[in-house]
């Protein structure tokens, strides 16, 4: 019986820094394959796996995946095209699990991302097979390194093990840190997955894992040589499979983020602390301005300074790196989400993690605290329109979060300098200051002309959108 292909890589080259790690690779993986990448440390095994799942940009070539019906999609190509992958399983070398997740929560999330409804009872049965049911309600940060690795492997394999439709599973050094019991379960699951038509792609140094692989691909100097291996088929067991629906990766990402934020709101609350300090500093400055109010009221300098002080707390809350970015950076958790969500990951995360709730109340709080010291006669007009610059600060927050997300990917050559792009966000901030100062001085106008409040607000929004788009597009280029 001819097995259908599930993955094809054509002319694949990947560069990390100045070094070409993978050179002009052609690879085809079919249903039921157990493919093992072997080679010295640094030979490119992890790079190859991360390229095949669409995490890394390609220098040349492209990677296509195929559904059970033969439909294809481009996971990644050299020109930056990237499509959302079919549901699959993935275990990264660095686990890809956030320490604030609970054990059962992590497993259920991995299954939901793959479109499977899993109850806590079913999840506990899976954990029990791996000897982890007694830790189901523990946080990942409370686990030993071996148990954490065990959870990462379970989460990578369960989406295929519990599904009737054959899928592809990627396991990067799955046996690293596992004890003999866990290795035995791992080998049994690999065998079962293969016999059910799933394709398993492994990177490993472990001879026990290599010995159960059908195809062994040795990576050396960026090129691959292949050898076949004859393995004995074990008798597989029947499993209770889960109900499958359309995968909802972005909604799963939102649920994951919300549950962790609710469990540990201290980080989010801490984001407001610098803004409150800025507000107190602004108040001190305004008190100092009282002695020269008469002078300031006759100049634009007073209105500009007052507008800047009013908007500064909200601006600071917008550009501070959010807690979600730190969580995604932990153990390369963001890489796992980037792989399963595809090109939707960065746009969605930059909006989800941004400061959407704080700018509006902070701006009004600043106004009420500082307005008593302001040389302004149009307070009712200002209050009527103060929400408008606050909304644009939300745009600035989305742009800043996208930049923080880009900077967090420190393995990308030159990614660290992207933090300098945060300086660009001063420009839309100053446009908002100009707009608010004019509103404070002469009121709001519907006229769109140079120097009008509405024009300045529109310019600030456009600049923020452009910075956001650049930060979202660059990683996939």
CATH (domain of 217): 3.40.50.300
Structure confidence at residue 298 (pLDDT) = 47
Closest C-alpha to 360, from 386, 379, 341: 386
Note the pLDDT of residue 133: 93
Find out whether 93 and 46 touch, Cβ atoms under 8 Å: yes
Query: Same structural domain for residues 291 and 258?
Result: yes
Residue 260: exposed, middle, or buried by beta-carbon count in 10 A (0-12, 13-18, 19+)?
Answer: buried
Q: Are strands 199-203 and 215-220 parallel, antiparallel or unpaired?
A: unpaired
Q: Which of 177-186, 432-441, 447-456 has the highest mean pLDDT?
A: 177-186
Number of domains in the chain: 2
User: What is the β-pairing status of strands 60-66 and 72-77?
Assistant: antiparallel
CA distance 457 to 311: 13
Q: How many CB atoms lie within 10 A of CB 372?
A: 11
Question: How many other CB atoms sit within 10 Å of the CB of residue 80?
Answer: 14
pLDDT of residue 260: 86
**pTM summary value:** 0.88
Mean pLDDT along residues 328-334: 86
Mark whether 231 and 271 lie in a shared domain.
no
Give the per-residue pLDDT at 414: 47
Q: For 188-243, what is each residue's pLDDT tens digit?
A: 999 999 998 999 999 999 999 999 999 999 988 778 887 777 666 565 566 777 77
SS3 state at 241: coil
Query: How much is the pLDDT for 267?
Result: 63
At residue 373, the pLDDT reads: 63
pLDDT-derived band at 70, boundaries 50, 70, 90: confident
Measured in degrees and rounded to the nearest 5, phi and psi for residue 467 equal -65, -45
**Residue ending a domain, choose from 245, 277, 294:** 245
Give the span between the Cα atoms of 113 and 209, in whole angstroms: 27
Question: Does residue 412 have a pLDDT over 70?
Answer: no
Q: Which two tokens stand for residue 374?
A: 């302001």
Rounded to the nearest integer, the mean pLDDT of the chain is 85
Q: Examine the domain organization and report whether 165 and 295 are in the same domain.
A: no
215 - beta bridge partners?
Answer: 35, 228
Question: Using CA atoms, how far apart are residues 190 and 277, in angstroms rounded to an integer?
Answer: 55
Cβ atoms of 3 and 32 closer than 8 Å: yes
Same domain, 258 and 156: no
| Dist. CA 313–CA 281, nearest whole Å | 10
Helical ranges in 180-265 per DSSP H = 180-195, 207-211, 249-263
| Euclidean distance between CA atoms 133 and 292, whole angstroms | 69
pLDDT in tens, 347-394: 999 999 888 888 999 999 888 888 766 655 557 778 889 999 999 999
Q: Which residue has the tokens 């960065």?
A: 346
225 by Cβ neighbours in 10 Å (0-12 / 13-18 / 19+) ranks as: exposed
Both 274 and 181 in a single domain?
Answer: no
Same domain, 196 and 340: no
- Quick one: pLDDT at residue 119? 86
Q: In 3-state terms, what secondary structure has residue 312?
A: helix
Give the span between the Cα atoms of 409 and 167, in whole angstroms.
28
Pairing between strand 19-30 and 223-228?
Answer: unpaired
Range of the domain at 22: 5-245
- Domain end, chosen from 206, 224, 245, is at 245
Lowest mean pLDDT among 55-59, 418-422, 470-474: 418-422
The confidence band for 477, taking pLDDT boundaries of 50, 70 and 90, is low
Cα dihedral 139, 141, 144, 149 sign:
positive
Q: Are 155 and 333 in contact (CB under 8 A)?
A: no
Percent of the chain at pLDDT > 70 equals 88
Say what angle helices 145-161 and 103-113 make with each other, to 10 degrees.
Answer: 30
Mean pLDDT of 85-93: 93
pLDDT tens per residue, range 252-310: 899 898 888 888 776 667 777 888 888 888 777 766 665 444 444 445 556 788 888 88
Helix locations, 300-411, DSSP H: 300-319, 323-329, 333-341, 345-352, 359-370, 379-385, 387-408
User: Do 214 and 228 form a contact (C-beta atoms < 8 A)?
Assistant: yes
- Burial of 297: CB neighbours in 10 Å, binned 0-12, 13-18, 19+: middle
Q: Which residues pair with 228 in a beta bridge?
A: 215
* Averaged pLDDT, 451-475: 90
C-alpha–C-alpha distance, residues 149 and 177, integer Å: 7
Residues 94, 203 within the same domain: yes
pLDDT above 90 covers a percentage of the chain that reads 46
Lowest mean pLDDT among 114-128, 180-194, 315-329, 369-383: 369-383
3-state secondary structure of 442: helix
3-state secondary structure of 453: helix
Q: Where are the beta strands (DSSP E) in 87-164?
A: 89-91, 116-117
| Single residue among 187, 215, 245 that ends a domain in this structure | 245
For residues 64 and 122, membership in a common domain is answered with: yes
Same domain, 138 and 284: no
Q: How far is residue 64's CA from residue 67's CA, in Å, rounded to a whole number?
A: 10
| Same structural domain, 241 and 376 | no
Q: Are residues 25 and 151 in the same domain?
A: yes
pLDDT in tens, 151-195: 999 999 999 998 888 899 999 999 999 999 999 999 999 999 999
3-state secondary structure (DSSP) of residue 76: strand
176 lies in the same domain as 273? no
Contacts of 450 (CB under 8 A, 6+ apart): none
Please say whether the beta carbons of 389 and 311 come within 8 A.
Answer: yes
């Amino acid at each position: 019986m001819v097995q259908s292909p599930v993955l094809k890589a054509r002319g694949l080259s990947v560069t990390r820094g100045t070094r070409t790690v993978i050179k002009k690779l052609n690879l085809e993986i079919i249903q039921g394959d157990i493919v093992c990448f072997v080679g010295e440390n640094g030979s490119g095994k992890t790079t190859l796996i991360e390229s095949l799942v669409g995490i890394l940009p390609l220098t040349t070539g492209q990677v296509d995946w195929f559904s059970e019906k033969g439909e294809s999609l481009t996971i990644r190509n050299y020109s930056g095209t990237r499509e959302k992958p079919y549901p699959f399983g993935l275990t990264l070398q660095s686990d890809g699990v956030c320490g604030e997740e609970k054990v059962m929560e992590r497993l259920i999330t991995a299954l939901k991302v793959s479109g499977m409804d899993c109850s806590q009872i079913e999840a506990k049965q899976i954990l029990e097979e791996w000897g982890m049911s007694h830790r189901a309600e523990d946080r990942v940060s409370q686990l030993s390194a071996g148990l954490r690795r065990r959870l990462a492997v379970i989460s990578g394999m369960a989406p295929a093990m519990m599904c009737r439709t054959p899928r592809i599973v990627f396991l990067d050094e799955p046996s690293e840190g596992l004890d003999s019991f866990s290795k035995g379960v791992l080998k049994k699951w690999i065998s079962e997955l293969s016999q059910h038509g799933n394709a398993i792609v492994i990177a490993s140094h472990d001879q026990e894992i290599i010995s159960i692989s059908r195809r062994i691909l040795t990576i050396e100097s960026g090129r691959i040589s292949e050898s076949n291996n004859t393995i004995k088929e074990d008798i597989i067991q029947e499993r209770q499979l889960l109900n499958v629906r359309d995968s909802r990766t972005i909604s799963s990402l939102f649920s994951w983020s919300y549950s962790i934020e609710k469990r540990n709101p201290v980080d989010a609350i801490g984001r407001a602390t610098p803004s409150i300090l800025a507000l107190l500093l602004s108040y001190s400055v305004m008190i100092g301005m009282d002695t020269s109010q008469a002078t300031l009221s006759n100049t634009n300098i007073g209105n500009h300074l007052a507008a800047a002080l009013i908007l500064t707390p909200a601006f600071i809350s917008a550009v501070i790196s959010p807690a979600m970015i730190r969580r995604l950076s932990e153990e390369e958790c963001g890489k796992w989400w980037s792989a399963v969500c595809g090109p939707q990951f960065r746009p969605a995360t930059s909006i989800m993690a941004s400061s959407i709730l704080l700018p509006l109340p902070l701006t009004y709080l600043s106004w009420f605290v500082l307005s008593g010291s302001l040389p302004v006669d149009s307070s009712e007009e200002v209050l009527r329109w103060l929400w408008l610059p606050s909304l644009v600060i939300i745009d600035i927050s989305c742009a800043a979060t996208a930049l923080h997300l880009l900077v967090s990917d420190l393995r990308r050559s030159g990614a660290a300098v992207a933090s300098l792009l945060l300086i660009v966000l001063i420009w839309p901030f100053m446009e908002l200051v100009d707009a608010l100062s004019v509103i404070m001085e002469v009121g709001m106008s519907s006229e769109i002309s140079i120097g009008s409040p509405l024009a300045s607000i529109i310019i600030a929004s456009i600049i923020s959108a452009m910075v956001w788009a650049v930060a979202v597009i660059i990683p996939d280029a």
